[in-house]
Amino acid sequence: MDITASDPAARTNRRAATGELSRGFGSRERYGYLFLAPWFIGFFGLSVGPMIWSFYLSFTNFDLLTDPKWVGASNYIRMFTTDPKFMTSMRVTLFFVVLSVPLKLIAALTVALLLNRGMKGLPIYRALFYLPSLLGASVAIAILWRQIFAGNGLVNKFLALFGIAGPSWISNPSYSLWTLIILSVWQFGSPMIIFLAGLRQIPADVYEAASLDGAGRWRQFIKITLPLLSPVVFFNAIIQTIEAFKNFTPAFIISGGTGNPINSTLFYTLYLYQEAFGFFRMGYASALAWVLLALVAIFTAFAFLTAKYWVHYD
C-alpha cells in the first residue's frame, strides 16, 4: 500500500513507530548526526586532526621514516636565528602580499566602478572579467604565464615589434616576482564581483543628494562610495591577504618548484613545501606552517582592530 500523508491510519502508525524509536535510541538526534557525519569526518579527520598532529610535529624532528623525536622549541628557534632561507622566503611573501593585494583590489574596484555605470552587455563583461579568477590558480594558467613571460615569450615578441629586446622576465631576479604579482592582480574577478554587488547596494538618491550638495564625481567617490563600500573593501582585503599568504601553485610552476632565480620567488609556502617534501623535514615544515598561521592571524587581527576607524557599517 502506498503510504501518504493524507491517509490518517498510516500517519498514526508512522508517528507511533518514530515515537518508539526516539524513546529507544534518541533516533531523531542520531539521524541528524548521521547526515552530519560526512562533514564531521572531513572536519575532524582532515582538518582538526592533522592540525593537532602538525602542532605536535612542530616540536619534533620527523623524516616520515623513523618516529618523531621531541626537540622542544628548537625548530622555532632555528627559524628565527640561523635560517637565512626562512627570512628570504618571508621577505618574498611579504613583498608579494603588500604589493599584490592593494593592486588587485584597486584593479577590482576600478573595473567594478566601470561595470557599475550600467553599460550594455554587462553580464558578458562580468563573466569575462571573472574568468581569470576561476582559471588563475590552476597549473595550466601558470604554465601559460611562464610561456608569456619567457625569454622568447609573447611579451617579448610584442616588445620586439617596437624594437625593444626584453629580458626573460621569469628568469631575471629583478622581474620574476613581478610576473607573479601581475598574475595575481590579473585574477581580480572575484573581489570585483563582490565590489560590484557592494556598489549596487548604495542607493542612487544618496548620490543625487551629493550632487545637489555640489559634490563632483571624485568627491562623491571619496566621501560617499568609499565609506559606504568600506565593509566590502574590508572583507575583500582580508580574504585576498589570506589568499596571498597562501599563494603556492603559480610560484611552484613558474620556478619549477625551486623559488629561483636566486630565491627571488621563494614563497614561504614554497619553502615550506621544499622542507617537507624535498628534505623530508616534517617537524621543521610543521613549525613553518604554524608560524604562517600565526602571521595570518596577526594580520587579520590588526585589520579588525583598525576597522573601527575606517569601516562604516550602516
Partner 1 sequence: MATAVELQNVVKSYGNLQVIHGVNLTIDPGEFTVFVGPSGCGKSTLLRMIAGLEAISDGDLLIDGERMNAVTPSERGIAMVFQSYALYPHMSVYKNLAFGLETARLPRAEIAKRVQRAAEILQIEPLLNRKPKQLSGGQRQRVAIGRAIVREPKIFLFDEPLSNLDAELRVQMRVEIAKLQQRLGNTTIYVTHDQVEAMTMADKIVVLRDGRIEQVGAPLDLYNHPRNLFVAGFIGSPKMNFLQISAAGIEADADITGSAAGGGRDVPMTLGIRPEHISIDPDTGAALGSLKVVLVESLGGQTVVYATAANGQTITVVLDGQVAVGETLEAFFDPAKAHLFAADGNVVAGARLPHIITLV
Q: Which residues bind partner 1 (CB under 8 A)?
A: 203, 205-206, 208-215, 219, 223-224, 227-228, 230, 312, 314
**Residue 139 or 197 having the CB closest to partner 1:** 197
**Residue 65 or 212 having the CB closest to partner 1:** 212
State the minimum distance, in angstroms, from the CB of residue 123 to partner 1: 22
**Residue 7 or 213 having the CB closest to partner 1:** 213
State the minimum distance, in angstroms, from the CB of residue 313 to partner 1: 9
State the minimum distance, in angstroms, from the CB of residue 191 to partner 1: 21
SS3 assignment for the chain: CCCCCCCHHHHHHHHHHHHHHHHHHCHHHHHHHHHHHHHHHHHHHHHHHHHHHHHHHCCEECCCCCCCEECCCHHHHHHHHCCHHHHHHHHHHHHHHHHHHHHHHHHHHHHHHHHCCCCCCHHHHHHHHHHHHHHCCCHHHHHHHHHHCCCCCHHHHHHHCCCCCCCCHHHCCCCHHHHHHHHHHHCCHHHHHHHHHHHHHCCHHHHHHHHHCCCCHHHHHHHHHHHHHHHHHHHHHHHHHHHHHHCCHHHHHHCCCCCCCCCCCCCHHHHHHHHHHHCCCHHHHHHHHHHHHHHHHHHHHHHHHHHHHHCCCC
User: By the 8 A CB rule, do 195 and 236 touch?
Assistant: yes
State the minimum distance, in angstroms, from the CB of residue 200 to partner 1: 15
State the minimum distance, in angstroms, from the CB of residue 258 to partner 1: 48
State the minimum distance, in angstroms, from the CB of residue 303 to partner 1: 19
Orientation of helix 282-310 relative to helix 226-246, angle to 10° = 170
**Residue 215 or 307 having the CB closest to partner 1:** 215
User: Residue length, the chain?
Assistant: 314
**Residue 224 or 296 having the CB closest to partner 1:** 224
State the minimum distance, in angstroms, from the CB of residue 232 to partner 1: 13
**Residue 119 or 161 having the CB closest to partner 1:** 119
**Residue 51 or 224 having the CB closest to partner 1:** 224
